[in-house]
Structure 1
Amino acid sequence: MSNHQSAHHDKLAVRLSVIISRLMAGESLYLNTLAEEFRVSERTLQRDFHQRLAHLDIQHEDGCYRLANGRLHDHSPAALSLIRNIGLSPLIPMQDKALMNLLMDGSGTSPCLIWHTPLNPAAMRSDCFQRLAEAIHRHCTISVLVGGIRHDALEPYRLIYQQHCWYLVTSYQRSICVFRLDDIISVTLLEHRFRRRNEVNDLIAEEGFIAALPHFRFISDVINTFRS
């Protein structure tokens, strides 16, 4: 590459980087002003916007250019936190910034779909789900009503989805208790806070434990029978 070509590409890179940074800052850019600043023709700048920056969602009218939403947001940190927090990480082979922004972009067709059997909306109370999520996040003990029986002073650890059903995993007097969410009638957050135990955190994240959730009640009954 000749010195002339190298200088041309350097000027192009600088010009595009300045334009992109201003668009991301929410500025409206005018062709005549940019042409004077960069000492290029308006036709060259039109090529910048319509060809070189075509991947950006840019609006233009009467020589004025701006991002459609005013600012290009980076959604990748939120997307990464979401897929890691709810256990979707093993399903996403590459978790880089570009892919996360594609997954969070609601303006076009989503590139991915995770299929699952839909829940029966009538089988689970949304208000219970919300309260349980809050209690787990705040480390609040809870009281739940299940089949006419009240269970008090439970320490909620996690809501886990397994085989078309949500399960609430709790601890009570240092023993693990599991409830199907569609069996829970009401949830009450109590004032008492609890300290999460690492051994419980590790146990309920194990593949074997999660796989056994649909049979947890039967397993517990067998264990209690032998204990008694």
Structure 2
Amino acid sequence: MGYKHDYDKAMFRLSTIITRLYQGEELSVAELSKEFSVSPRTVQRDFNNRLNNLPIEMVKKRWRLRDGCTIEKILPIDELVVAQIIEKISQDIGGEFYTKAKNLLSRIQNNEFNPIYTRIDMEDISGHLAEINLLEQAIKRQCYISALYKNEDKTDFITVKPLKLANFEGFWYLIAMEDDVPYIKKYHFKSLCGITIQDKTFTRTPNIDEAIQNAMGIWFRIHEEPFEVRLFVDAKIAKFFRRKPLSKTQVIDSVGVDGSLELSIKITHEMEIIPIVQYWMPYMRVIEPLWIHEKIVENIKKYLL
């Protein structure tokens, strides 16, 4: 325990020093030694051995960042672009999540202008960071959790095997399994409360990650064999499905002389594809299976009543 405690103190001290250097402060060994309750020799060793890869120099007995040095000149350009994209995505999420992300990213970005724009409609779960941390621990340790689940006017007490926290169509879900239930269940994350990690452990479902990656929506089913759907895509929208496939299973079967496409994808539930086809109507339709096409036609008739 003593070793870990000393390590944590050292990491806190080093991260604080680095942050303050990049904020433009000039740091004295003597002042830092008093601030962190360590010997001047320890602080000097920090600069000489642990921080010697940074562009820093001592001027008049104070350590500072060399003139003209910023974090932008140290990080590779691709990492800076990633940081800018992460900042904009976190801004779309909003709330406390964006505040924390902004504070973190400000340590590696000095410019206030971000040339990146994103538009991601996503639930704000920043007020539930403690619950996310609990679920992460339970998933990694493969421990059961118990919680209260508020579903419309009803509240149920559940005990489940948590498998993944996933986002579909902007909503966050806990993917989990219950004992004696042969299929996975999806719980709206913000409708869970009172999450408690249990001592009981479970064996992780082996193909959950692949199933989620191939899924086209929250309707996916992990214990059912995927089946193929063939789609016609009008030339007017074909470019969108060349740029961004519907799913990892998408295959372009043929290209028409006018630029139209015939695609095939694999799904486990019809509701993975029906909302997508209805969104793109009249420029997309189901070729096979016929029963899905007929369901969409029926939906259109009901809408026109």
TM-score category (smaller protein): 0.3 to 0.5
Higher relative contact order (CA 8 A, sep 6+): 1
Q: Which has the higher helix share?
A: 1
